[in-house]
Every structure is written in C-alpha cells, then in structure tokens.
Amino acid sequence: MTVSSGKSGPGSSSTKSPPRTSKADARRRELIAAASRVLLRGGAGTASVRAVADEAQVSVGSVLYYFDSFDELLRQTMENVLEEFYGRRLKVIAAPGSPAHRLARMIELGVPDEISEDLGLLYGSLSFARTNPQLQPMHRSIVERQVDLYRTLIEVGAESGDFDPQSPAEAIARNLVALEDAYDLYALVGIALDGEQRRAQVRSYAELALGCRLPAN
C-alpha cells in the first residue's frame, strides 16, 4: 500500500516536510492516533490515506503534508503500538521480585487470556509487512528486543542461582518468544485452549529449560 509522497499543505506547495514545531508535532500525533483507530477497527488491509483523513476530519492533502508518505504514517503508527507493548514488558524486568516471579509475569503478559486489540494488530500487520518492506525491520526489532529481555532475565537468574539453564540463555530466550507467538496465534485462530492452558505450556518449557519451578500466577 504505497502512496505518493507528494505534499500540499496550507499555504505551501513545497515537497519538504513541515518544520518540527510543537504545532506540527501535535498534528502528527493526532494523525497517528487516527491511523491507530482505523487499524484497530479494520486491520492493516483496510487502511488508506482517505480512511485516516476521514477519521481525523482533515483533507487527504493534510495527511500527506505532515508525513513523507502514507507508508511512513503507518510505520510510525505501528512503532507506537510496538513501543507500548515493549514498554509493558520492560517494566516487568525492572520491577522488584525474584527472577522466577518476573519470568512468570513476562509469560503472563506474553500469553494473555484474550488477545488485545493492539496485540491482534501486531500479528495482523505481519501479512501487511510482506508487501511493505519498510515495516520488516520494525518487526524484527521487537522480536530481538523481547529476546534480549528474556535473555537478560535468564542470565540474572542463573547468576543468582534461581535458574539452572539446560541450554544457552540465547536459545531459551528465543524459544520462549517463539512459544508466546505460537500460543497467541492459537487464540487468534480459535483453537480451544484458554489463556491459563496456553500459559501452562510455555511455563512448562521454561521450567524444564531453566531447571526451576515458577510461582503460581
């Protein structure tokens, strides 16, 4: 879904982006919020510059005036969603508590009872990324950052004696992220396992891989 990056703004025919002023930044945030609402309602496949303009109650030209292209607006919108998702997990890592308690909480966040709108949007946007290569580095980044969070927690737990890793921390971290994604997809396609059952599968692997018992939720 590529849209011409040409711009027309109030009182200007320049093709350059508007200056980074507080007013321009506020308008960009409003357009990103509008794009988020469009994406959450209909998914990435239904998003268009017209839909975002209608949602924000502005002209199509105004949307393209504040972003280099519609693809750029979508990229920044998805980055916001990803950052919020990552930020929630980062808080778990930084919170007090034993490594085992924090690992259990990470799994709880990664495999929720119900797939939230923003998490569903992240998974739904994977097919969109196939035809929009500029989104692929963003998706790779969130995977790698989640792996880093798990790896850090595993290394801290091994250092403290809470964990006895049976494989390299990197491999265990990647498997945990992969299992989270797999069991979230179970929920998205309607496989009949509730959230606790799906989390139990991930916890079982974590306990085997780390030689520990995780606390109950």
pLDDT, position 13: 41
Q: Is residue 157 assigned to a domain?
A: yes
Q: Is residue 119 assigned to a domain?
A: yes
pLDDT, position 216: 81
pLDDT digits (tens, 9 = 90+) for 57-77: 999 998 989 988 888 888 888
Same domain, residue pair 169 and 101: yes
Q: Is residue 1 assigned to a domain?
A: no
Above pLDDT 70, what percent of the chain? 85
Total domain count, the chain = 2
Q: Is residue 45 assigned to a domain?
A: yes
Same domain, residue pair 87 and 154: yes
Q: Give the CATH number, domain containing residue 198.
A: 1.10.357.10
Q: Is residue 106 assigned to a domain?
A: yes
Same domain, residue pair 115 and 196: yes
User: Domain boundary at 67, 83, 98, which?
Assistant: 67
What predicted TM-score, i.e. pTM, was given to this entire model?
0.75
Q: What is the pLDDT along the chain (217 residues), one digit of tens a residue?
A: 433 334 444 444 444 455 557 888 889 999 998 988 887 777 666 778 999 999 999 999 989 899 888 888 888 888 887 788 888 889 999 999 999 999 999 999 999 888 777 777 777 677 666 777 777 787 788 889 999 999 999 999 999 999 999 999 999 999 999 999 999 888 888 888 999 999 999 999 999 999 999 998 6
Q: Which residue range is the domain that position 80 belongs to? A: 74-210
Q: Is residue 188 assigned to a domain?
A: yes
pLDDT, position 20: 59
User: Domain boundary at 8, 43, 67, which?
Assistant: 67
Distance, CA of 67 to chain centre: 21
Same domain, residue pair 114 and 162: yes
Same domain, residue pair 148 and 128: yes
Same domain, residue pair 31 and 128: no
Q: Is residue 184 assigned to a domain?
A: yes
Same domain, residue pair 99 and 169: yes
Same domain, residue pair 50 and 105: no
Any idea what the Cα angle at residue 110 is, between residues 109 and 111, rounded to 5°?
A: 95
Q: Is residue 148 assigned to a domain?
A: yes
Quote the CA–CA distance of 134 and 78 in Å, as a whole number: 11
Contact 199, 193 (CB under 8 A): no
pLDDT digits (tens, 9 = 90+) for 20-60: 578 888 899 999 989 888 877 776 667 789 999 999 999 99
- DSSP output for the chain: --------BTTB---SPPP--HHHHHHHHHHHHHHHHHHHHH-GGG--HHHHHHHHTS-HHHHHHHSS-HHHHHHHHHHHHHHHHHHHHHHHHHSSS-HHHHHHHHHHHHS-SS--HHHHHHHHHHHHHHH-GGGHHHHHHHHHHHHHHHHHHHHHHHHHTS---SS-HHHHHHHHHHHHHHHHHHHHHT-S--HHHHHHHHHHHHHHHHTS-PPP-
